[in-house]
A and B are shown apart, each in its own frame.
Chain A
Amino acid sequence: MSPMPDNWGYVLAAYGVAAVLLVGYWRYLAARAHELSQPVRGGRKGQA
């Protein structure tokens, strides 16, 4: 079993992509929460 080359690039890529996904989701949550905590504008009256 020969030791493999280090391949730090792949390690970095894997962690990088994961970070992008997780931080992206966190920012999506934050944006959505912010949006929903805003007071509702223009009380539109719906008709059934």
Chain B
Amino acid sequence: MTTRMLGWLALLGLGGGLVAGFGYAPREVAQGNVQRIMYLHVPAILTAYLAFALVLIGSVGYLATRQLRWDRLAAAAAELGVLFTGVTIISGSIWGRPTWGVWWTWDARLTSTAVLLLVYVGYLLLRGMVDEPDARARYAAVVGILGAANIPIVHFSVKWWRALHQPSTILGPEPSPIATPIALALLVNWVAFTLLFAYFLARRMAIARLEEHA
């Protein structure tokens, strides 16, 4: 079964990611070992963005074809997007505590990620409250499209809003040039997260199919 294979592959990747993040990559000079949270945080947010892109694709696909498999894609991707956004925010918050001294700061990136989380939690709540599969798919698709179109608007508004009150965050716009081993460890973890995402997505979509026909 290919889904099962994907699962083992993801597990293998995550193992490799841990080895790369803790064994191979060196201790970062400025931040110390706390920086290793990055190997969790960055792949998680990249995966979340992949998920939200798939929500958009599934939404447009459903409205164009009216085939429920597109809706299943959007629904599964949204759920996973929320999951990985949650991982992103929690790991970012834990990283922020020793780095900034606070659990939560209205940093531009944390804030816009939190807004995204709220948008897609709303999406999932909406899905839970419509019983008719066709209406649920249509409404969800509209929210999915609007949510995706909103991502850049949210991004810029939050960035400018922060710039207004506080010119630059401690992290700066981009963390200073990344050393090759760190970049490599990030890459391994990113691949592992993408595999895990693909595995979850396949299983979630299969379950959605069963739910429809049950």
Contacts and interface: CB of A to CB of B under 8 A. Distances in A.
Nearest to A29: B203
Given A3-B32, A4-B30, A13-B94, 12 more contacts: A1-B30, A4-B34, A5-B32, A7-B33, A8-B33, A10-B34, A14-B37, A17-B90, A17-B91, A17-B94, A26-B200, A29-B207
Nearest to B211: A36
Secondary structure call for the B interface: helix
A13 B40 CA distance: 12
B214 A36 contact: yes
Interface in B34-78: 34, 36-37, 40-41, 44
Contacts of A22: 83, 87, 196
B44 A18 contact: yes
Interface of A: 1, 3-8, 10-11, 13-15, 17-18, 21-22, 25-26, 29, 32-33, 36-37, 40
Nearest to B213: A36
B87 A21 contact: yes
Contact of A11 (B37, B44, B203, B211): B37
Interface of B: 29-34, 36-37, 40-41, 44, 83, 86-87, 90-91, 94-95, 97-99, 196, 200, 203-204, 206-207, 210-211, 214
Contact of B83 (A6, A15, A21): A21
A6 B36 CA distance: 10
User: What is the interface of chain A mostly: helix, strand, loop, or mixed?
Assistant: helix
Contacts of A36: 207, 210-211, 214
Contacts of B40: 14-15, 18
A13 B87 CA distance: 12
Contact of B214 (A4, A6, A18, A40): A40
Nearest to B36: A11
Contacts of B87: 17-18, 21-22
Contact of A32 (B41, B86, B207): B207
Query: Which of A10, A36, A37 has the most CB atoms of chain B within a 10 A radius of its CB?
Result: A10
Contacts of B30: 1, 3-4
A6 B97 CA distance: 13
29 contacts: A1-B30, A3-B30, A4-B30, A6-B34, A7-B34, A7-B98, A8-B33, A10-B37, A10-B97, A10-B98, A11-B33, A11-B34, A13-B94, A14-B41, A14-B91, A14-B94, A14-B95, A17-B87, A17-B91, A18-B90, A18-B91, A21-B87, A25-B200, A26-B200, A32-B207, A33-B206, A36-B211, A36-B214, A37-B210
